[in-house]
Structure 1
Amino acid sequence: MAAHADKPDTFDPFGIAASMNEWCCLVKAARELKDVDEEMMETMLEANATGPASLSPEAGVKLRSLVNLMRSLNLDPEAIRRRDPETMRELETACLRCTERSRCARELWAGTAAYPEFCPNAAGIDRLRGQ
């Protein structure tokens, strides 16, 4: 028989166990979404690869950075790819040629997205953002 919701658990009067259980469920869901996102990215990279050779691991990381930057700026890279594949290819090409990979990763990790200072895609991204 289930305990009444208003009656506190004698072993967990503050509801910490329930909160931890909810948090663990959220973390599990986040991990599953991350796995789906990574799988989708791999599929997109494979579909977008030109020629018989596939992208190098470094190129894949750079393109993931582009996608993460776009998402941090509320741009949907998949929608842009469907709507305007040429623009997305131009962004990817510029990203692959970029020499600021470490700075890009730091900015994305910090959540600062100070891309206009160094990103070769700054003008294209700003155009997509309507700025």
Structure 2
Amino acid sequence: MSSPADKSDPFDPLGIAAAMGEWCCLLKAAQELRNVDAEMMDTLLEANAAGPTPLGPEAAAKVRAIANLMRSLNLDPEAIRRREPETMMKLEAACLGCTERGRCARELWAGSAAGTYHEFCPNAARIDRLRRA
């Protein structure tokens, strides 16, 4: 019994068209996975905003860090969450992806984060916009 792959295409003897078709399918699948990943992140952040966090302890600590930084800058994270939920979700998402967790924790603990967050925080520009508002 022969499969479709066994039949050669007289117009594509090297199978380039078939390979390109498979490549396109893989790219579409990758895009779908990226979309699902983004939707899942939004869902997790929305669930976190609504109540107890479904995130693991490390992720929850990262999300709490942004609230602590905001408080150190005299910003009320809960008021911002109510007034601008999308902004808060973006802040938390950036915090989840941050690679400077150790420095952030040290600066927050030392009480110096308000003066140094521009050096390490991926949310610095968003926080500055909130401070000017």
The total of aligned residue pairs comes to 85
Unpaired runs of at least 5, structure 1: 1-43
- Structure having the higher helix fraction is 2
Aligned-residue Cα RMSD (Å) equals 2.1
Q: How does 1:67-82 map to 2 (within 5 A)?
A: 67-82=67-82
Deviation at 1:99, TM superposition (A): 0.6
2:130 matched residue in structure 1: 128
Q: Is the 8 A contact 1:66 1:95 kept in 2?
A: yes
Identity of aligned residues (%): 69
Please give the alpha-carbon distance, in whole angstroms, between the structure 1 residues aligned to 2:132 and 2:83: 15
After superposing on structure 2, the runs of 4+ consecutive aligned residues of structure 1 that deviate more than 6 Å are none
Q: Is the 8 A contact 1:46 1:54 kept in 2?
A: no
TM-score for both structures, normalised by structure 1: 0.60
**Higher RCO, Cα 8 Å, sep 6+:** 2
2:59 matched residue in structure 1: 59
Unpaired runs of at least 5, structure 2: 1-46
Please give the alpha-carbon distance, in whole angstroms, between the structure 2 residues aligned to 1:121 and 1:48: 23
TM-score for both structures, normalised by structure 2: 0.59
